[in-house]
Structure 1
Amino acid sequence: MDWGRIVTNLMWLPKVDGWRDTLKAFAKSPDPTWAQAVSLANACLDFSQTNALDEIARRRWGETVPDGITGKPVRIAVLGSSTLAHLQPSIRVGGLRRGLHVAVYENDYGQYRQELEDEGSALYAFRPTVVLFALDAVTLTSGLRIGQSQADARGPLDATLEEVRHCWRLARRAFGGMVIQQACLPVFPSLLGNNEHRLTGSRAWAVTYLNDRLRAIADEEGVEILAVDAHVAEHGLGAWHSEALWHRSKQEVALTAAPLYGDLVARLVAAKQGRSFKCLALDLDNTLWGGVIGDDGLEGITLGQGSALGEAYVAFQAYARDLSRRGVILAVCSKNDEKNAREPFERHPDMILRSQDISCFVANWTDKATNLRHIAKELNIGIDSIVFVDDNPFERNLVRQELPMVAVPEVSDDPTFFPRILAAAGYFEGLAVTEDDLARTTQYAGNQQRESFRSQATDMASYLAGLEMRLISRDFDRIGLQRIVQLINKTNQFNLTTRRYTDAQVQGVMEDGNAVGLQLRLTDRFGDNGIIGIVIGRLEETDFIIDTWLMSCRVLGRQVEVTTLNVIAERARALGARRLVGEYIATAKNGMVREHYQNLGFTVVHSDELGSRSELDIEGFSLRPTAITMVSE
């Protein structure tokens, strides 16, 4: 398999027969839809195809946000010291692939610092929500001389890093949004060879030093890294950089790599909006093992030591297991007899994945699109949160046709490349890993125990009482910062306003004496559900304005909403509030909470198709009785 070709052509996406004819028909359509554009973007596109799609989409919509879009519009300023215009179409199409409407701005050549400093510049008029710093390696490594001492060589590099940090802070202070820093591309040939790290002052040495330090200070500043250096290390410099293009037009990223570059940027932005995928649904026969378990039996399937193919299946299972350990939910979706399908998980000595690793196991003779819907319902996640891996091209195409919102990577019949294709596709892009992520498989196992307990209870009241629930409220703190920001930016269904907060804005809530930021954790007899709710409110005279109220859907139906109201009312009264004011802002995904405040006893004072505003007098408010014990920490 030509991995360099996979990189430049996004080969985990399917090749679509007649794609150009479909594109032409889309261009000529009197009423093209956003969904059609997204479908066209989710194909294996090269640089010219990407640009053609971008041109037509821009002609159709331009800066206008189209109907049918679910993600929040994105305005990306790409700031750098080289030629970047060729990357803009790929960034827009990378966003389109994820259903995001993206507008892109590029600074005048070499003028990024000047535009950052000038509030009257075109950059400020653009009002970016994301700022991407794409600084070229030649600029970043200037001022070095071979043979310098380490102190002398690091001096100008450290000064450059502080300049970069200053630019991040300028961008965040001016625009308040997401900041991304492109890693330094390793474009320089070595001068010493294998031991280049010993040649202080060489530019190849400097790139390694800069990238190590960039990551460290990015962690300090809450900046995301666009890890192009890691992709160069995996796929080769030739797939990413053309010296001829650099000398001719100062294009550091090669034209052929632009589609992947744009996709990498879009992944980060989508992850910030909580639009990364959550669940990996796996076929079984010839996907997790070789052969057909129903025909070949436990002894006849290919798995484990003794063959290269068997070891490849083991490696894929190990990759899936490690994904689950970092927070990805695993499910099985197989056309099989369930008893036969479960046998390898229970009895085969070389199986890496075991039953306890699978949060939802569906094996029957129903079509896979229907079963994927069942998995989404069982796990209480959106169907658009699922990635489905199946070796069978017929099944892949069927799911793509029936469920275009499900990600279906174009794997081959060779399991050797399954992990690489999944990793390269970036479906599970994350910005950080929290304790709740690491405990997710355990949390879903606890949900199964709760459902079993529920089936044995005689009524709902006894079930809830028997759970022995505790809702632990804690003010925002730095320990929980990553999880707080993660939840705010990825929760879409039970989210009253869908307002997004950056790290800095959450810290601003923590420092505001008139604001309350609460992180809510639910525990019960079956375990810790983790942080399941976030509330942000502010005191305005005698009104406590609930700016943000969001919760994980997996805990609904357990009186958590009412108990949370009790917590909010107590905190609001402690600040001197006499009334709670709750706002609902309608989105494509949060219709389930349209009447949330009314159901809690609030009075609606305004309502239209865009949302509503509700009020609740709390001067004489009495805590509502629930089966949950309130704990404040």
Structure 2
Amino acid sequence: MPSFIFQSDQLQRLDEAALLGLLKVADERTLLEDWAPLIHELPAVHERFVERFCAYCEAFQLISKFEEMGFLAADGVWLDSFYGQWIVAKMWSLQGQVDRAVDVYRDLLSEAPQVSFRLELEAARIGHKAGAFEFAFQTLSLAAQHAADYGQLQQAARLHARLERTADFPDLPVVRVALMLASAPQLIVPILRVMGFAYGLKLEVFLPDFDNVEQAIYGEQSPLFEFQPQVVILGSNYRCLDWDGSLKQPAAWATEQAQLIQQHWQVLSGKFNCRILQHTFDLPPYDAYGHLAGSLLAGRFRQLHALNSELVKSCPSYASIVDVTVIQARQGTQQWGDDRLWQVARQHPAPAAIPALVSEYIAILRAYGGQTKKVLVLDLDNTLWGGIVGEEGIAGIQVGLESPAAEAFHAFQEVLLQMKQRGVLLTVCSKNNESDAKRPFVEHDGMLLGLDDFVAFKANWESKDVNLQAIADELNLGLDSFVFVDDNPAERQLIREQLPEVTVVELPEEPAKYVATLLAGRWFEALVVSDEDHMRTQTYRQEQGREFARQAAPSLEGYLSGLKMRAQSGAFDLQRLERIAQLIQRTNQFNLTTRRHSLEFLRAMIDAPSYWTRWFSLSDRFGDHGITALVIVKIEGHVWTIDTLLMSCRVIGRGFEDYILNEVVAAALQAGAVRVEGHFVATAKNAQVADFYTDRQFSRNSEGEFSIAPDLYLPVRSVIL
């Protein structure tokens, strides 16, 4: 081969495919003398080249020679480029020096120009080998989130299983899930567990014996009783339905089939007070009646649509619909099912569709586990509109319906407005002059969003991590409830590094894909949408008025007194139950036990004599906060035990918690209780209430339980009326 081909300026003009072709014919001398000194200078070197180059070098047993030549050293030239660093990390691991490899992988992950499943999984594997288990779990979580298909998730699931066997699992909320499917679940379970882990949940999964779902639900000795599921997933498919009955009584068939499923809901809810995730029925790819299957009374398509409609209409508040027809449409019917796999192994859906189905489960489970995000932080230039307003002016930016580019930003704003209307808080974090940044909202006819749609607006030249932290402080919300959207990869990387609690959306270059990318993350999934959600932006804007009043007040006591706060309270009732359930699922900071009681369990408390329940709302001269706190007390004889005491972060610092505790102890005293007990269950988010009881006259015993005799309790003075 001519030697000129290995000159740097020649190689720099080749793409990766050409470089790989040359690499195939390289010998030991060529790898050592020609390739090694140039790798860090080649712009076309990417993942495939890294993999192939390291494989060839291992085959030729050259890695120790590269070490002798200084290429793997801390000051070696390979560390001058990202992919050169990756080669160093791989070679250290191939040499068995996994500790050194982990150090390089740490740097790589912080400098990666884009997300890479291969890099993240590779780093997790080496972390596992090195015993760096925290690093391994962290990088495995990233890999599972970024996996592109079933094959990649399988790889992540296998490593997840190995880590579980050999390392202490991270302290994550545990959710017990019963997977009750009419198909074989074996391929689904490992994907479900690794994706749950990736999004902060430890899932314990129960499987009934095959084709034995009804026995597990109704049997008196069912092992489901021992498992005590918090969530039950019920799923069947069109192949399992009684189609003979559809032909005999087509008018009543869909209703009768739905009633059988509704009985499952009632029995499961009555036995376990669990959340139910109910599949709709998918559609067959073809039908013998062709297009008539959608119009004939007994046609399968028409009957399946009717059955799904019955399930949706009758779905109780303790259940969530998993609309598999939507997932099937996204995947494509041919990718959704595999007739041969069904006939051989009762596998459904096809493996390629499993990640999409499990993603739907995980979105609802995250909402159930209280992991719904609250705040969307938005850049402006090339994010809410096309162009840079500070340079191009109002006339130069693109948003509206006048062109495809403008329409993409219009569509994005349309979705953002819908998110705001359902309770997501919108904020701005932009590097801009504030006056320039606000002009489009006032002057451009194509804008759908207005300044009043945002609860915080930071447009300046401060670093974005500083501004984002300031927004969190203003809203009194944890950074883990924030989602950051910015078209600039450098700004996204900055937030990942400086504020790792914040979720960063990997926005694509094409604005037409912004909507799908944001919504696919399912960060703001909720089990219910309440009246308080619709008013959330207005509520937080009222908070700004309170903050101005606080700054103007001569003292905190004067500020609180000047708010003229009034509280209302009452026992749990059906009218307010959805808001109560939402508070239980979403409140993390001021939550003494973080018990995620199900909606059905809360419903059972309404008339239960063994429970005393109260919701609390708070209003002041600036507006009404709505229901922002609640208490659940379990009554056993003359002992009142506070099972749940929580309060929205919006009203922290008002003395509301003292008003609430005064009410609880007064009610206990009136009921003849001799002792009020409380518990504190520590989580990663509720440290601020660790001393709640000891700061309020309760004594603590050796087992960590708190108690007080209600007649000895001295009510805390409160300015709340």
Same fold (TM over 0.5): yes
- Contact kept, 8 Å, 1:544 with 1:580, in 2: the verdict is yes
Q: Report 1:185-196 matches (<5 A).
A: 185-190=282-287, 196=293
Q: Report 1:74-153 matches (<5 A).
A: 74-146=175-247, 152-153=249-250
Aligned pair in 2 of structure 1 residues 208, 508: CA closer, same or farther (>3 Å)?
same
Matched residue, 2:710: 618
- Structure with higher helix content: 2
For residues 467-488 of structure 1, give each alpha carbon's deviation from its aligned partner in whole angstroms, at most 9, with x where no partner exists. Answer: 1111111110001111111111
Aligned pair in 2 of structure 1 residues 223, 129: CA closer, same or farther (>3 Å)?
same
Taking the aligned partners of 1:613 and 1:533, their CA distance within structure 2 comes to 22
Name the stretch that deviates more: 570-579 or 450-459. 570-579
Matched, 1:213 2:315: no
Paired amino acid for 1:186: L
Matched residue, 1:524: 620
Aligned pair in 2 of structure 1 residues 313, 159: CA closer, same or farther (>3 Å)?
same
| TM-fit CA distance, 1:358 | 0.7
Q: Report 1:311-322 matches (<5 A).
A: 311-322=407-418
For residues 199-236 of structure 1, give each alpha carbon's deviation from its aligned partner in whole angstroms, at most 9, with x where no partner exists. Answer: 111221121111111112222x6211112212333453
- Contact kept, 8 Å, 1:39 with 1:404, in 2: the verdict is no
Paired amino acid for 1:201: A
Q: Secondary structure at the match of 2:590?
A: coil
For residues 246-288 of structure 1, give each alpha carbon's deviation from its aligned partner in whole angstroms, at most 9, with x where no partner exists. Answer: 3443322121111121121111111011101111111111000
1:241 aligned to which of 325, 337, 343: 337
Aligned pair in 2 of structure 1 residues 578, 429: CA closer, same or farther (>3 Å)?
same
- Contact kept, 8 Å, 1:290 with 1:302, in 2: the verdict is yes
Q: Secondary structure at the match of 1:530?
A: strand
Taking the aligned partners of 1:304 and 1:174, their CA distance within structure 2 comes to 53
Matched residue, 1:21: 122
For residues 141-179 of structure 1, give each alpha carbon's deviation from its aligned partner in whole angstroms, at most 9, with x where no partner exists. Answer: 533455x5xxx2243433332222222233333433222
Matched, 1:175 2:175: no
Paired amino acid for 1:47: Y
2:148 aligned to which of 45, 53, 69: 45
Q: Report 1:330-479 matches (<5 A).
A: 330-479=426-575
Taking the aligned partners of 2:222 and 2:118, their CA distance within structure 1 comes to 45
Paired amino acid for 2:552: Q
Taking the aligned partners of 2:217 and 2:624, their CA distance within structure 1 comes to 45
| TM-fit CA distance, 1:182 | 1.2
Larger Rg belongs to? 2
Aligned pair in 2 of structure 1 residues 284, 583: CA closer, same or farther (>3 Å)?
same
Matched residue, 1:9: none
| TM-fit CA distance, 1:105 | 2.8
Taking the aligned partners of 2:120 and 2:277, their CA distance within structure 1 comes to 33
Paired amino acid for 1:238: Q
Give the percent of matched residue pairs that are identical in Structure 1 and Structure 2: 33
Paired amino acid for 1:60: L
Q: Secondary structure at the match of 2:448?
A: coil
1:69 aligned to which of 171, 178, 188: 171
| TM-fit CA distance, 1:343 | 2.1
Taking the aligned partners of 1:401 and 1:457, their CA distance within structure 2 comes to 38
- Which blocks of at least 5 consecutive residues in structure 2 are unaligned? 1-113
- Contact kept, 8 Å, 1:95 with 1:263, in 2: the verdict is no
State the TM-score, normalizing by the size of structure 1.
0.90
Taking the aligned partners of 1:218 and 1:467, their CA distance within structure 2 comes to 42
Taking the aligned partners of 1:35 and 1:471, their CA distance within structure 2 comes to 44
Taking the aligned partners of 2:717 and 2:223, their CA distance within structure 1 comes to 56
Taking the aligned partners of 2:376 and 2:583, their CA distance within structure 1 comes to 20
Taking the aligned partners of 1:297 and 1:476, their CA distance within structure 2 comes to 54
State the TM-score, normalizing by the size of structure 2.
0.80
Paired amino acid for 2:301: A
1:198 aligned to which of 295, 307, 311: 295
Name the stretch that deviates more: 566-575 or 270-279. 566-575
Q: Secondary structure at the match of 1:299?
A: helix
- Contact kept, 8 Å, 2:375 with 2:425, in 1: the verdict is yes
Matched, 1:628 2:705: no
2:682 aligned to which of 586, 603, 612: 586
Name the stretch that deviates more: 521-530 or 595-604. 595-604
RMSD across aligned positions (CA):
2.3
Taking the aligned partners of 1:282 and 1:159, their CA distance within structure 2 comes to 48
Q: Secondary structure at the match of 2:592?
A: coil
For residues 503-548 of structure 1, give each alpha carbon's deviation from its aligned partner in whole angstroms, at most 9, with x where no partner exists. Answer: 2211222111232111111111111111110101133232221111
Q: Secondary structure at the match of 2:133?
A: coil
Aligned pair in 2 of structure 1 residues 189, 330: CA closer, same or farther (>3 Å)?
same
- Which blocks of at least 5 consecutive residues in structure 1 are unaligned? 1-12
Taking the aligned partners of 2:581 and 2:353, their CA distance within structure 1 comes to 31
Matched residue, 2:160: 57
Q: Secondary structure at the match of 2:706?
A: strand
Matched, 1:258 2:360: no
| TM-fit CA distance, 1:391 | 1.4
Taking the aligned partners of 1:498 and 1:338, their CA distance within structure 2 comes to 40
| Higher relative contact order, chain-length normalized (CA < 8 Å, sep 6+) | 1
